[in-house]
């Protein structure tokens, strides 16, 4: 669904795109050869490899193979390092989309207590950095965190990005808090849902994103913006 929607986004705004749907048994050498060809292709401004990869492939090596100037996901170590010091051209799509949503909600980050649940390289860690760059006071929670509910209740801004359906319940949310749900799961009925128990938490939160239809479209919008940025940088 995500890949299909990205193709539609490209068509809508006039960005040329190619999709390579490779067999599951594709080798590391074959995948890296394709990345090398796209790195050298002047027609291509941006490259992304849809994660996760099959277990026999080295995800880290694949990400490192992408030219940082064409890395529209901003996963390459050099781009991650630039984000860390606050001197970047490209931002990871989901964390950047979250920041746009927070701003659109009218929530000021500066001086606020921000809690990020999840510490992945794709969302949790860069999300914490972006909130820190906006002068938020940031706590990162994870599977080893003690008193998770207490930490969440202290948050003025709560970002859930852990991948566990309806983990964040209404009693874990501070009244009036801004709640951003990055999760994409299926509930006991097979219906798409996030990491937040939306129906109950919306009665407590000051602002909240739904799943689907919240962070996902923003992730795709930032991907389009990153693609335009890489074209300009080239």
Active-site positions read 6, 50, 73
For residues 23 and 162, what is the distance between their CA atoms, to the nearest angstrom?
29
Partnered with residue 157 across adjacent β-strands are 114, 178
Distance CA 198, CA 205 (A): 10
Question: Quick one: how far is CA 60 from the chain centroid?
Answer: 17
Q: Are strands 178-181 and 207-208 parallel, antiparallel or unpaired?
A: parallel
Closest CA to 101 of 219, 2, 9, 203: 219
3-state secondary structure of 185: strand
Q: Name beta bridge partners: 124.
A: none
């Amino acid at each position: 669904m995500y890949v299909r929607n990205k193709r539609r986004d490209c068509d809508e705004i006039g960005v040329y795109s190619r999709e390579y749907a490779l067999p599951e048994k594709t080798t590391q050498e074959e995948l890296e050869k394709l990345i090398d060809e796209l790195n050298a292709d002047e027609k291509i401004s941006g490259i992304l490899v849809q994660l996760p990869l099959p277990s026999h492939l080295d995800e880290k090596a694949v990400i490192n193979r992408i030219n940082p100037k064409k890395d529209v996901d901003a996963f390459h170590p050099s781009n991650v390092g630039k984000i860390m010091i606050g001197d970047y051209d490209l931002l990871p799509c989901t964390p950047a989309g979250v920041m746009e949503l927070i701003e659109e909600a009218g929530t000021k980050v500066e001086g606020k207590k921000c809690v990020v649940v999840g510490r992945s390289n794709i969302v949790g860690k860069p999300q914490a950095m972006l909130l820190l760059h906006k002068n938020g006071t940031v706590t990162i929670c994870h599977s080893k965190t003690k008193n998770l509910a207490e930490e969440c209740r202290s948050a003025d801004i709560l970002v859930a990005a852990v991948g566990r359906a309806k983990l964040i319940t209404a009693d874990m949310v501070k009244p009036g808090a801004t709640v951003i749900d990055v999760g994409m799961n299926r509930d006991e009925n097979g219906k798409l849902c996030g990491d937040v128990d939306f129906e109950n938490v919306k009665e407590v939160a000051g602002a909240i994103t739904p799943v689907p239809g919240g962070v996902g479209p923003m992730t795709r919008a930032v991907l389009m913006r990153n693609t335009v940025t890489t074209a300009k940088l080239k």
